[in-house]
Amino acid sequence: MNKVKCSEDRNKDSGGSSRNLDSGADVTFQYLRGFTKVMTEPQVIARDARTISEIRPFLHVSGIAPLTANNLQQFTCLINCVAGLRHSAPPHLTVLHIPIEDDDSTDLSPYWQIVFQTIEEHRRLGGKTLIFCGMGISRSASFAVAYLMCIEKMSLHDAYKHVQHARNIICPNIGFFKQMIEIERKGIYQSHVSDISKDHVVSRDSALTRTLTSLPL
């Protein structure tokens, strides 16, 4: 039966393997074996990629497929983690655009703080945030795991397992996983999120004038 490889194996095959990582690559790979499934059935990926997964009542993760106008009515904030995609959204939504690629070399650290602050702002106001990427497997899942680590002070193991339980198909790429390991290694936890400067690299879209014309119903 044909299966799709998860983070560790897909990177070995793609050439983005240990020769492109630092000397701690072997340790990272050993660490990953305790978290990730080696393979995921393609039919499971196809099924779950069409769903929205609840991480917390105020925080959800998905891919692009389920972003219909009806599904988005329950949310107050949309965090778009797809570079080059400007997704139309219902007028009630605030949209935060995080223009990143699902690539081992992508640095997520410039975006941790603004993503966490945005989630917290909407949580405190009784709102709900949806983080999405292409399929809800790597980019959006990484932000959800890191949020639980940095804001709720969970260990990487517990945060990853919590998100994985909610969304079985998550599989952050090796570069993202290394950054989460680094968060835990350095003890970069915070109980609150400070203000973000207005000239921050991330663009914030109000989306208040967006139309529903390009959204499926």
Residues annotated catalytic, as ranges = 133
Taking CA atoms, 187 is separated from 107, 111, 162, 190, in Å, by 18, 18, 19, 9
Q: Which residues, 6 or more positions from 114, have their beta carbon under 8 angstroms from its beta carbon?
A: 96, 98, 196, 200, 202, 204
Count of Cβ atoms closer than 10 Å to residue 19 Cβ: 7
Alpha helix ranges (H) inside the chain: 7-14, 25-32, 42-48, 69-72, 112-124, 139-150, 156-166, 174-186
**HSE-CB for 180 with a 13 A CA cutoff:** 30
Taking CA atoms, 92 is separated from 53, 71, 72, 87, 164, in Å, by 21, 13, 10, 14, 29
Strand-pairing partners, residue 204, are 96
